[in-house]
Amino acid sequence: MELAELALTGDLVRPARLTVPDLLRRPQHEVRVSFECATSGVQHHRFTGPRLYDLLADAGPVFDPARRKDRLRFLIAVTGTDGHRALLSWAEIDPDFADAPVLLAVTADGIPLDAAGPQLVLPQDRCGGRHISGITAIRVDGGYGFGAPLPATPGRASAAAP
């Protein structure tokens, strides 16, 4: 069985490539969530895994720790195997600010996610729209360099337009 791997990149002192077994070696937390799904009604699930904050704090974000508000400019972009993406602010997960218990789940309802990869779980989100399955990448960015502008989509202005 090949293990799914996620790339932890961006403005970090210690970027890494991690698998579910790597995440299992970290302190585990459990959350029970209820998502109000538009198509299938209320869904109840139980997830376990490390907190996103702990993982990213250990990776060494490059904000200035002496300037408490410096970390507020940092964003966290999460990408899944199916192309879904979610964006969080550092303040959402930081214990000095919102302290949301965001997990990188390694089990869902008791089922290990070794092959599928970890899932982003935000228990505070009512509809679960930022729940990302099969995470392939997490990028921490304090300068908003998420890449080149996206090409123009018909009916929308180009991101590169003056």
pLDDT tens column, 84-109: 999 999 999 999 999 999 999 999 99
| pTM metric for this prediction | 0.84
Q: What is the maximum alpha-carbon separation in the chain?
A: 51
The pLDDT assigned to 1 comes to 62
CA distance 132 to 80: 6
Average pLDDT over residues 138-147: 80
pLDDT tens string 28-78 = 999 999 887 777 788 899 999 999 999 999 999 999 988 889 999 999 999
Neighbour tally for 37: CB within 10 Å? 11
* pLDDT mean over 118-140: 90
Does residue 119 surpass a pLDDT of 50? yes
Amino acid at 63: F
Mean pLDDT of the chain: 87
Q: Which residue has the tokens 């959402």?
A: 92
Residue 160 has pLDDT above 70, yes or no: no
Q: What is the pLDDT of residue 99?
A: 96
CB 101 within 8 Å of CB 93: no
Share of the chain above pLDDT 70, in %: 88
